[in-house]
Amino acid sequence: RPTMEAEFTTAATNVSQLPTDGLPQVAFLGRSNVGKSSLLNALTGRRKLVKISSKPGKTKEINFFKFNQAFYLVDLPGVGFAGVKFDKVSEMQNGIRAYVEHSKELKGIVYLIDSKLGPQPIDVETIEGIRALGCPVLPVMSKCDKANQSELSKTRNALNQLFENQVRPLRLSTLRKIGLGELWQEILSTVAV
Ligand code: GTP
Ligand code: MG
């Protein structure tokens, strides 16, 4: 893990609250409870930077974490819970689509898919929506510690099909610390710092 200084800066519920300093951003998205916030903690090596929960729907705002004063990693609310969708996030004036549309500094979205379940209809819908806006998506198979070999290969095949073999899905477990180094490399090359 590279040495990084990370600080929480903003919880945005509206596009008017998005950062304006022009630093590049990489955001984390996926169904609720898939492990987005845990992943952010694991990437920093800090257990309590981001609040996590065993119950879905924990993250409600667009949370910005600034790294080394050079780039942002962005924790998004999970899709598929309490009416949170790509096009509209409940209790938010602007949804995830608005964030993607308004952020020209957004260089890519790390999209977490449960390794055991594989991509669900809401994942496919969300990924297609993001890619239609021209934002690159990196698929990550999360909680791989909970999936067996056949579930993992089924999920990998479904993702290869969804991404037409253009992007290689990363295997990840924050619990077992699998795939974190590889993901850091992808993130750093995406923000190009
Ligand atoms: P929302 O904020 O509701 O969208 O959820 P989230 O995607 O941020 O998930 P969060 O990080 O809060 O984690 C949800 C649950 O999954 C917690 O109980 C975590 O401890 C657990 N979890 C996270 N990563 C892993 C993993 O790699 N393996 C296993 N087995 N559990 C994990
Ligand atoms: Mg969360």
Q: What is the pTM of this model?
A: 0.92
The full set of domains in the chain, from first to last, is: 6-191 (3.40.50.300)
Does position 132 have pLDDT exceeding 70, yes or no?
yes
Does position 183 have pLDDT exceeding 60, yes or no?
yes
Q: Is 63 in the pocket of ligand 1 (CB under 6 A)?
A: no
Nearest CA to ligand 1 atom 16: 35
In this structure, which long-range contacts are made by residues 159-163, counting pairs with CB atoms below 8 Å and at least 24 apart in sequence? 159/113, 159/118, 159/119, 162/119, 162/124, 162/127, 163/137, 163/139
Q: Is 36 in the pocket of ligand 1 (CB under 6 A)?
A: yes
pLDDT value of position 94 = 45
For the CA of 174, the nearest atom of ligand 1: 27
Q: What are phi and psi of 90, to 5 degrees?
A: -60, 145
What interface predicted TM-score (ipTM) does this complex get? 0.97
pLDDT value of position 93 = 41
Q: Is 116 in the pocket of ligand 1 (CB under 6 A)?
A: no
Q: Is 78 in the pocket of ligand 1 (CB under 6 A)?
A: yes
Chain segment 82-122, per-residue pLDDT in tens:
555 555 554 444 468 888 888 989 999 999 999 999 999 98
pLDDT value of position 92 = 43
Quick one: which of 82, 78, 17, 89 has its CA closest to 53? 78
* Count of CB atoms situated within 10 Å of the CB of 73: 23
Average pLDDT of the residues of the chain: 87
From residue 82, give the alpha-carbon distance in Å to each of 52, 113, 119, 140. Answer: 17, 18, 19, 23
| Section 27-48 average pLDDT | 87
pLDDT value of position 157 = 98
Q: What is the best residue among 29, 31, 32, 33 to mutate for testing ligand 1's pocket, by most ligand atoms within 8 Å of CB?
A: 33
| Section 10-19 average pLDDT | 86
Chain segment 136-152, per-residue pLDDT in tens:
999 999 999 999 999 99
* Count of CB atoms situated within 10 Å of the CB of 151: 17
Cβ atoms of 120 and 127 closer than 8 Å? no
Where is pLDDT greater, at 178 or 91? 178
Does position 24 have pLDDT exceeding 80, yes or no?
yes
pLDDT value of position 1 = 63
- Rounded to the nearest angstrom, the distance between the alpha carbon of 63 and the centre of ligand 2 is 9
- Rounded to the nearest angstrom, the distance between the alpha carbon of 60 and the centre of ligand 1 is 15
- Rounded to the nearest angstrom, the distance between the alpha carbon of 142 and the centre of ligand 2 is 13
Q: Is 57 in the pocket of ligand 1 (CB under 6 A)?
A: yes
pLDDT value of position 91 = 45
Angle between helix 180-191 and 36-44 (nearest 10): 90
| Section 10-23 average pLDDT | 88
